[in-house]
Amino acid sequence: MITVVVRVWLPDRPGALGQVASRIGAVRGDVLGIEILEQGADRVIDELTVALPGDDVVSLLINEVDAVDGVSVEDVRSVELDRADPNLAALAAGAAMAESDPGERIEVLCSSVQRLLEADWSVVLRGVEVIAQVGDSPQVEWLTAFLAGSEHLNEVDESLPNDLAWGHLISSGLTVACGRSNRVIHERERVRLSLLARLADALL
CATH class of 2-79: alpha beta
CB 44 within 8 Å of CB 9: yes
Predicted confidence band at 81 (pLDDT cuts at 50, 70, 90)?
A: low
Q: Is the pTM of this model over 0.85?
A: no
Distance of CA 159 to the CA centre of its chain: 17
Q: What are phi and psi of 5, to 5 degrees?
A: -110, 125
Kindly tell me if the per-residue pLDDT of 114 is higher than 80: yes
The tens digit of pLDDT for each residue in 12-66 reads 999 999 999 999 999 999 998 898 888 888 899 999 999 999 988 999 999 999 9
- 52, 180, 197 from 161: Cα distances, Å: 33, 11, 19
Average model confidence (pLDDT) for the chain?
Answer: 89
Q: C-alpha angle with apex 77: 36 to 47, nearest 5 degrees?
A: 5
| pLDDT at residue 60, as a whole number | 93
Percent of the chain with pLDDT strictly greater than 90 = 59
The tens digit of pLDDT for each residue in 124-137 reads 999 889 999 999 98
Rounded to a whole number of angstroms, the CA Rg of the chain reads 18
The tens digit of pLDDT for each residue in 13-22 reads 999 999 999 9
Fold of 86-203: Beta-Lactamase (3.30.450)
DSSP-assigned letter for residue 45: E
Q: How is the chain split into domains, by residue range?
A: 2-79, 86-203
User: Is there a shared CATH topology between the 2-79 domain and the 86-203 domain?
Assistant: no
Q: What are phi and psi of 127, to 5 degrees?
A: 65, -125
Which residues contact residue 99 at a Cβ distance below 8 angstroms, ignoring those fewer than 6 apart?
Answer: none
